[in-house]
Amino acid sequence: CFTPDLLHLHTIENTIVVVADVFRATSCMVTAFAYGVKSITPVATIDECRLLQERGYMAAAERNARKVEGFELDNSPFTYMNEQIRGADIAMTTTNGTLAITRSRGAVKVLVGSFLNLDAIANFLKTEPYDVMVLCAGWKGRVNLEDTLFAGALVDRLKDNYAMAEDSAIMAWRLYGQGKDNLIGYMSNASHIRRLQRLGIQKDITYCLQHDLYDVIPVLRGNALVGMEG
């Protein structure tokens, strides 16, 4: 599903949804769990985030790729490489990523995917009997290249285990095949790359495109993401 705005066309009751917002929300989440965070509660609004902050959560709020005033955590994966977050409960709201997660409620499982934990996600899904949907967070209802490429990468790892039931899976897979040897070059004109570059955040881009750095899978339990056990 290339954007949450197309989610209404699908039924997700018998489906595992993998939410991807490669730049940068889901890459941040995966990094946070790799560095020992206890839970991340994704919320849709800044007000909800503030409420949880008042109850003692560490809080991260991003809009239009900028940190919102009054919140301690930025939407950069490097913010989460920090001893302070070990064992912490975090509340997070971002422009697209957290919205995609909250919209996925009702699926058999909601997993958080990124290039950083691609292999962990693929290996887990190989043992599951359910259909799988990658929900690309996109940008404000629009399709973006980086999340589509992630979807294609996951299709590539699972192509011997699952049929490509939708043309969107074939399209994502073919794009990944074209771009995989030089993802940064392939995406050089992509909208969010340009947005992040305007803000001087090149190092986040390079970091988020690394494959298979962490063996963690954040999974939604109730309202919060937790690390999947073993």
Give the phi and the psi of residue 7 in degrees, each rounded to 5.
Answer: -65, -30
With b for 16 or more beta-carbon neighbours within 10 A and e for fewer, the 114-150 pattern comes to bbbbbbbbbebbeeeeebbbbbbbbbeeeebbbbbbb
Q: Choose, by CB under 6 A, the member of 77, 97, 113, 227 that binds ligand MLT.
A: 97
E strand or H helix that includes residue 196: helix 191-198
Interaction between residue 24 and ligand MLT (CB under 6 A): yes
Asked if residues 216 and 120 have their Cβ atoms less than 8 Å apart, the reply is yes
Interaction between residue 94 and ligand MLT (CB under 6 A): yes
Asked if residues 21 and 111 have their Cβ atoms less than 8 Å apart, the reply is no
Q: In this complex, which beta carbon is closest to ligand MLT, that of residue 24 or of residue 109?
A: 24
Instruction: Measure the CA–CA gap between 222 and 212, rounded to whole angstroms.
Output: 27
Task: Give the range of 20-28, 79-87, 110-118, 168-176 binding ligand MLT by CB under 6 A.
Answer: 20-28
Q: In this complex, which beta carbon is closest to ligand MLT, that of residue 25 or of residue 116?
A: 25
Q: In this complex, which beta carbon is closest to ligand MLT, that of residue 3 or of residue 95?
A: 95
Please report which residue ranges of 9-161 form alpha helices under DSSP H.
25-34, 46-54, 97-103, 118-125, 145-158
Interaction between residue 29 and ligand MLT (CB under 6 A): no
Asked if residues 54 and 127 have their Cβ atoms less than 8 Å apart, the reply is no
Report which residue's Cβ sits closest to ligand MLT. 94
Residues 39-68, mask of contacts with ligand MLT (x by CB under 6 A): -----------------------x--x---
Task: Give the range of 48-56, 89-97, 164-172, 220-228 binding ligand MLT by CB under 6 A.
Answer: 89-97
- The residue ranges that bind ligand MLT (CB under 6 A) are 21, 23-25, 62, 65, 75, 94-97
